[in-house]
Structure 1
C-alpha cells in the first residue's frame, strides 16, 4: 500500500488528555493521517475540536454513529481505514462494536470495555470478522521492555521465580475530582470508570506488563484495595500478591495516593540464574544481574534483541519515552493492517501489539482483583473468561 492509512477518532476532543497522545503516537512515523472524527459527546464540542485539528467540516461528525455510517459510504482510499476509540471507559464498547460490524479495524484505549461481558462480545466479534484490533497497553512498546521479554524467552534468567511490579502515582492524594478536573472526575465515577479506579486505570497496566515481560500468566491473587480519600467510592490504592502458572510468586502495587510520585512504573523479574530491573522514568536502561555481574543494557547500544532494535528510532543517548512507546504499539498495528489490506500475511514482528484477547484478560484482571478484595478466600482464582 503506497499511501498513509486514514484514521477516524471517537473522543479525544478539547480538554481530553489521551486523545492527543493517540494522535501524536499514530502519526509520528508518517504512516497515518487523521481524516475525520466524532470528538465529543456534543456536536458543538466535536465541531470545535475538528476546527482546532484543521479538519474539513464535512468530516467532523456529531456522533460516532454518523461518522461510521457516512465514512462507510465513501470510496476506498478516501474513507477512514480504521477507528481509534479514546473515550472514557463506559464509551469504549459501543463505537468499537459498531466499527467492527461495519468493517473497520479498531484501536481502543484500555481498558477494553466497561464490563467483562462487553469485552467478551468484542472478542467474539473480532474473531468472527478477522479484523485487526489493538488495545493500547502502551508500556509494552518500550525497546528495553521488549529486550527484557526477549532475554527471558532466551532463558537468560532461568526459570522465573518472582515478579515485582509497581505503579505508584500521587495525583489523586486529595479530592481533585471536586475541582471539576476532567481526568479525575470520570476516573473516580463508577458510572464512567466501572468497578475500579486505580486498578482499572493503572493496575491493569502493571498486570499486563508483568505477563508480557515474563511470558507467564497470573493464576490467582490475594488483594487488598483501599479508598483512602474520604468520600471516594472507588479504590485509590491496591496491594496484590500474585501466583503465576509456572509456580512463580509476585507482588503488584498500584497507587494514586502515593504523595510526590509522578508515574513511577517499574518492574523487577528474578529467575534461578539472573534478574532484570526496568524503570519507566529511565526507559532507555535495563539492568541485568547475575550472581557475579551487573550489566547495564542501553537502548541502541551493543548487542540487543532484534525486537528492541526494530522499535528504536533514535541514536544512542537520545531518550525515547512515552509517546515513542505508544507509537510502537500503533506502528505494529499499522503494518499489520497494511499487510491485510494488501492481501498479505503480516510479518511476525509486527504482530507484537496488544490485541483483543489481552484486552479481555485485562478486564478479567480488574474483575478478579475487585472480587478478591472482598472474598474470604486467601487466594482467589484468576478466571479465564
Structure 2
C-alpha cells in the first residue's frame, strides 16, 4: 500500500476490504510522505517491510523473490499517476483509488503506460460492487427496461457546507492536489461511473453549471450537469457537498420504454423495479427476483446489511481473480468485472468537460478522450 497511514480514512477502508474475502495479505507499505509517519504507520499495522519512499518500495519489491504482486494506491489524487508509474514499470499490478488522476493529460499518459505494461489495473469505484447495482445492470442488459430513455443520478453530501480545515477537506479543496474538480472529482465521478456501469450507455456531450458557494473555495462544491448519451438517451447528474441534511445520498434512477429502476446507496440492499403500467416491485438482495449477478457478489443471507465495505471488497476480489488469471495465463472467471483504465479515463474526462462547459456558461461540450 502507498498512502493510507495514520489519520487517513480511506486507507483503513481499503485494508478492511482487501481482507474480507481472504484474497490478500498486506506485506509492505509506504504509508506516508512523512518518513516518521510512514514508519510509525507500518508499526501500527504490523507491516515489517516499511518504506519511506514509494519509488524505493517499487524498486526493492520488484527485486525480491517474494515481492508484492499488487500495490494499492490510496493517496490524494495528484499522486496517483507518479506512484502508479513506478509500479507499472516493474510489472506490478495496480489497484488505485478514484479518480484515476488529477488531470486529463496525466490520465492519458497513465492509461497508455498501463496498457503497454500489460498489468491488471483496477480502479475502486466501489459502488459498482454492490449486489443490487449488479442486479440493475443485468436487468438493463436483459432488456427488462426496454430502450433506455432517461437517466437521473445524484450524489449529495453536506460536509463542506461551511469552510472546513480537517485533513480530508484540506486536500480535496486544493486544486493542486484534487485537480480541477471539487465535488465533480470527488463524488461526481462516482455518480457518472454508476450511471454508465448500470446502463451501458456512452456519453456524447454534456452541459455543466459548477459553483463554489463557500467564499474563498477554489474548486466547485456543487454541480448540475445535463447529459446526452449516444443513441438518444438523456440524463441529469447533480453532485453537491453543500446540501444540508445529506450524508452520502447517491441515488440512481433509470427509465426505459418498458419500465424503470431506482436504487439508493444509503439503502443498498433494495432495488425498485416498475414495469410500465404495473405496480412497483421491490427486489431485495438475495430475495425473490434477485439474479445470479447479484448472488455472486453477496456474502451474507438476505436481510443482513451489506454495503460500503463489501462493495470495495468485491472490487478487490474481482481484481484478485484477474491477477491470478494474468499470472497463470488463463481466462478470467466468468462474470468477473471491475472498473479499470477505460472507466478511469472517462471519469477524468468527465471532470475536465464539466469545467470547460461551466467556464463557457454551460455550453455543450464532448469528452476529450
Number of the residue aligned with 2:88? 100
Deviation at 1:376, TM superposition (A): 4.9
Compute the displacement of 1:122 (Å). Answer: 1.4
Map of 2:24 onto structure 1: 32
Q: Aligned pair 1:53/2:45, yes or no?
A: yes
The answer for the alignment partner of 2:296 in structure 1 is 310
Measure the CA separation in 2 of the matches of 1:348 and 1:45. 42
Q: 2:90, 2:125 → 1: CA distance? A: 25
TM-score using structure 2 length:
0.98
- Residue 208 of structure 2 contacts residue 362 of structure 2 at CA under 8 Å; is this kept in 1? no
More divergent stretch after superposition (13-22 vs 115-124): 115-124
Deviations 1:331-371 (A, max 9, x none): 10011111221221212312x00011110111100100110
Tell me how far apart the structure 2 counterparts of residues 35 and 300 of structure 1 sit (CA, whole Å): 35
* Residue aligned with 1:349, SS: coil
Query: SS where residue 69 of structure 1 aligns?
Result: helix
Q: In the TM superposition, what whole-angstrom CA distance separates every residue of 1:56-94 from its partner, at most 9, and x where no partner exists?
A: 2xx10011011111111111xx21110111000011001
Look up the SS of the partner of 1:34 in the other structure: coil
SS in 1 for 2:26: strand
Pairing 1:153-192 to 2, within 5 Å after superposition = 153-177=141-165, 181-192=166-177
Q: Deviations over 1:87-129 (max 9, x none)?
A: 0001100110110001101001111112111111111112112
Matches within 5 A, 1:1-385: 9-56=1-48, 59-75=49-65, 78-177=66-165, 181-290=166-275, 291-350=277-336, 352-376=337-361, 378-383=363-368, 385=369
For 2:334 and 2:118, the matched residues in 1 are separated by: 17
Report the RMSD for the aligned CA atoms in angstroms. 1.0
Query: C-alpha distance in 2, partners of 1:82/1:133?
Result: 9
List runs of 5+ in structure 1 lacking aligned partners. Answer: 1-8
**For 2:260 and 2:289, how far apart are their aligned partners in 1?**
18
Change in 2 beyond 3 A, CA 1:377/1:13: closer
**TM-aligned CA deviation for residue 378 of structure 1:** 3.4
Corresponding residue pairs, total:
368
Q: Tell me the CA shift for residue 377 of structure 1.
A: 6.2
